Amino acid sequence: MEWRHPSSPVQKKFKRQPSAMKVMLTLFWDVHGPILVHIQAHGQTVNGANYCAILQNELKPAICKKRRGMLSKKVLLHHDNARRHTAAATAGTVQQLGFELLQHPPYSLHLVPNDYHIFGPLKEALRGCRFTSDEEVKEAVHTWL
C-alpha cells in the first residue's frame, strides 16, 4: 500500500530474477582445514537422525580418508546446543563412534569457533555474489574452502 495522488502514475514493479534458495551447509573442520563439507538436500530437514547419519556415514569415512591415523587418537567434537546436537540419539552415536564431545555452555555469549573462523570469512567472501543455481553456490563454497 502506498500514498499517492489519484492522478499519479502507478509505480512499475520490477520482475525479480529467480535466485538460488537457501543452502544448508554442515561443516566439520580441524586446525588443518575442512574435513567434511555436507550440503543438505532441498526439502530435507536437519534433525537428530539425519545428523547421526552424517556422523556415521560421512564424517567417519572422511576422517579416515583425509586425516589418516586420527581415528586411533581421540576425536573431539565441539557442538553448540542445537537440538540435533544435544539429542539422545546424537549422544549415543558420538559414544558409539568413540568420539569425545566437548561441552558448550548453555546460553553462552561466546561465539562457537565456526562462527568466527569459518562462516564470518565465508560470508564476507561471498557477499555481493549472485547465484542462479544451487550448484553455483556449492561450487563457490568448495572453491573458497
Distance CA 3, CA 8 (A): 10
All structural domains of the chain with their residue ranges: 25-144
Is domain 25-144 in CATH 3.30.420.10, yes or no? yes
Q: Are 138 and 39 in contact (CB under 8 A)?
A: yes
- pTM of the predicted structure, to 2 decimals: 0.71
Q: Are 51 and 77 in contact (CB under 8 A)?
A: no
Q: Where are the beta strands (DSSP E) in 16-102?
A: 25-30, 33-39, 76-78, 100-102
Number of Cβ atoms within 10 Å of the Cβ of 17:
7
Query: How do the pLDDT tens digits run along the chain, 145 residues long?
Result: 677 778 888 777 766 655 556 778 888 888 888 888 888 887 788 888 899 999 999 999 998 888 887 777 788 888 877 888 888 899 899 999 988 888 777 766 666 666 677 788 888 888 888 888 778 888 888 888 7
